[in-house]
Amino acid sequence: MPAIQSTPSIRWPGRAGALLVVAVALAALALQYLLLIRATLDTVGPGFATVRYFSFFTVLSNLLVVAAAGRAALRGHGDGQLSQPRVQAAVALYIGVTGLVYVTVLRHLWHPQGLQWWADCGLHYATPLLYLSWWALVAPHGRLAWRDLPAWLLFPAGYVLWVFLRGAVVHEYPYPFLDVDQHGWGVVIGNAVVVLGVFVAVGAVLVGVDRMLGRGRA
């Protein structure tokens, strides 16, 4: 485990912003879960639906936002892994890619209505924008290194492995571009490599922005 470095305390306005991020993300997560449970009561049931819920990268990235922003909102000072700049930036990467992939690839595939529209907007638009804004404006900067980028890729790589393992058993995939049954391994592996490239590109941008913001604040 990397050594924990002391980071500057986050003052109350920044903590209030983090609290807003948590509130929006939690509301969207809870609404999405309730909608999924309601839709599957007469089919797969709540147990299978819960596993399906946690099989979406969108849900996992929003939960990480709740953890990181919640830690900042409640404590404000810089001890603990969740307060580390590299961890806060990793969460920014995951939620940023969540929003980017949804806007560019997935939003054209369905048209949510009613409460589902609200959950969709919260998970894919509001939370990414709010957390990325909070990270840029409030989080400590100037402490990231290029060596952080490979470590950030471990989580999405592990997620893809889980998707393939679960899909081999239940023949259900959370995202169409990872559906092996529909597209075959060749196409899906190619899609996964493209998404990995997106993570690398966005992560590189975050490191560059962090260094620029760090120099500006110094």
pLDDT digits (tens, 9 = 90+) for 11-31: 777 889 999 999 999 999 999
Which pLDDT value is given to residue 118?
97
Question: 140, 118, 120, 2: which is closest to 72 by C-alpha?
Answer: 140
**At residue 75, does pLDDT exceed 80?**
no
- Model pTM? 0.92
- Residues 104/175, Cβ–Cβ less than 8 Å: no
Q: Who has greater pLDDT, 150 or 77?
A: 150
d(CA 150, CA 33): 32
d(CA 75, CA 66): 14
Which pLDDT value is given to residue 2?
47
Question: Degrees (nearest 5) of the Cα angle 72, 5, 26?
Answer: 20
pLDDT (mean) for 100-121: 95
Which pLDDT value is given to residue 6?
54
d(CA 145, CA 155): 18
pLDDT tens across 142-196, in order? 999 999 999 999 999 999 999 999 999 999 999 999 999 999 999 999 999 999 9
Three-state secondary-structure class, residue 114: helix
